[in-house]
Structure 1
């Protein structure tokens, strides 16, 4: 089952604001914390990969637990000599339930992310968000 994680996933994280957005499309867009691509390679219970948002990214390492539900624990570290140097984000996610009678259900990881290391004046440590990552075909 951990092999389902291999490959590319469309990643979106969201600020955890309980306020309704109603018909305000800009308010809904403002909830997006990040959008990127996860690329995972799984070997046994080890995960490695990258998260890339086009203008930068983090190197990923982590573990996979195949006990139901499948769980990932990932550390994302910035790349030396790049804009992400010194960054650290931790991710914890679970494979979403697979419905037996679903029509065209796509595998999804759901979880939370925390900024472990501050970077820049508007990016303090401790900020958290929820995320959804959807498997690309």
Structure 2
């Protein structure tokens, strides 16, 4: 089975906080760094698309897709997400690095997913550049 990055994905990023939430829903929600919908297209070894976080918060995405030989990972990608002028994301830049999630040979109804990390590449809204969060994106049907 070949991994298909193209499509519509539910995206969530998480603060890398080691504190257990211990069943506390408020603590769990505070760990979410961002969420939205990835709409991705792949052509000639390049991924393009958007991350739509709602209410006009959109990043335009672009970067290379690299096939990986051997091991469990089938692809790796890097994307730069840039904010749109005249929108709440103007001046934003985030860098994404990810790979496909492991596909379990005996898994039942496993949904395709990819995982990785995101870096705030430029400061915005009082938040400094350099912050790193982890993310997961799950394919929508």
Distance of 2:100 and 2:44 partners within structure 1: 17
- 1:98 — aligned with what? 103
The answer as to 2:9 corresponding to 1:9 is yes
Distance of 1:44 and 1:102 partners within structure 2: 31
- 1:58 — aligned with what? 59
- How does the TM-score come out when normalised to structure 2? 0.92
- How does the TM-score come out when normalised to structure 1? 0.95
- 2:91 — aligned with what? 86
Distance of 1:36 and 1:8 partners within structure 2: 10
Distance of 1:118 and 1:84 partners within structure 2: 11
Structure 1 unmatched ranges of 5 or more: none
- 1:128 — aligned with what? 132
Q: Would you say how many aligned residue pairs link Structure 1 and Structure 2?
A: 135
- 2:24 — aligned with what? 24
Distance of 2:23 and 2:81 partners within structure 1: 35
CA deviations on 1:52-103 (whole Å, 9 max, x unpaired) are: 0111110000111111421110000001111111110000001011111110
Question: CA RMSD for the aligned pairs?
Answer: 1.0
